[in-house]
Amino acid sequence: MATPLRREDVAKVAKLARLSLSDEELDMFTEQLGQILEHANDIAALQLDDVVATAHPFGLINVMREDVLEPCLSRDDVLAMAPDSEDGRFAVPRIMGEAP
């Protein structure tokens, strides 16, 4: 059985998920997510050591195709819908600081 969800747990997952929450939102989500996880304790408590996990219901794995070039999307079409682009690439704000 997992421990109850705390406010700091929610703050941590919000940070991991790149979301900022107000104090009121933190309170609300802590309560709501806590209720959902409490409901999920019915399966967290099951003894399932011998059961294999399912990723695909019919067991399809590693579908491959021949490694041959096929037509793909036009770069210009894709970049046209991006918030910002430059010289045929996605443009983003500065990642690293100024050189010292």
Partner 1 sequence: MKSAIDIANDVRTGATTAVAEAERSLAAIRSRNEELNVFVHVDDEGALETAQRVDAQIARGEDPGALAGVPLALKDNLCHVGKLTTAGSRILEGWRSPYSATVVNLVLKAGAVPMGKTNMDEFAMGSSTETSYYGPTRNPLDPARVPGGSSGGSAAAVAADMTPIALGSDTGGSIRQPAALCGLVGVKPTYGLVSRFGLIAFASSLDQIGPFAKNVTDAALLLEVIAGHDPRDSTSLPEGAPSLVAGVDAGVAGKRIGLVRELLEGADDDVVAAVGRAREVLTEAGATVVDLSIPECRLGLSAYYLIAPAEASSNLARFDGVRYGLRVDADDVAAMNEATRTLGFGAEVKRRIMLGTYALSAGYYDAYYGQALKVRTQMINAFHRAYDQVDLLLGATAPSVAFKFGEKTSNPLAMYLSDVFTIPTNLAGDAAISVPFGRGEGDLPIGVQLLGPGRSEAQLFAAARVLEVEQTS
Residues that bind partner 1 (CB under 8 A): 2, 5, 9-10, 13-14, 16-21, 25, 29, 32-33, 35-37, 39-40, 42-44, 46, 48, 51-58, 60, 63, 65, 73-74, 77-78, 80-84, 90, 92-95
The Cα 83–Cα 85 span in angstroms is: 7
- CA dist 56 → 44, 81, 96 (Å): 21, 33, 41
Q: Whose Cβ is closer to partner 1: residue 48's or residue 100's?
A: 48
Q: How far is the CB of 49 from partner 1 (least distance, A)?
A: 9
Residue labelled with tokens 């037509």: 71
